[in-house]
Amino acid sequence: MASKPPKPAPTPRTPTWDEGGSVVLERRTQKTKPPQMYQVVMLNDDYTPMEFVVVVLQEFFNKDREAATQIMLKIHLDGKGICGVYTRDVAATKVEQVLDAAHKAGHPLQCLSEPVQ
């Protein structure tokens, strides 16, 4: 049984010349992956007032009062809650804002960001 001859290696694309004497290169489309997303997670503690958590969610995560209250209750009941999903730099900034506000108000509220799986 005869086997097929191997395919020749692809030749690199060479520039072509247009009628005006300029070099024309073909554009190769690049496939870029979307950025890794990170979720900002707030952790429950026994000292930070619930109202403070609601205000932080409204101020830094643009949640309305009802959504902020629902997230605060999830944090309170489950021990943690997701405040939002962002790119790495935005998530890090949100965490810094929350921790700074909590520190200035004298609350031990903890917040972190983690990659979305």
At residue 27, does pLDDT exceed 70? yes
Do 52 and 44 meet the contact criterion of CB atoms below 8 Å apart? no
The pTM for the full model equals: 0.73
Residues 86-110: tens digit of each pLDDT: 999 999 999 999 999 999 999 999 9
d(CA 95, CA 88): 11
* Side chain identity at residue 81, one-letter code: G
DSSP 73: H
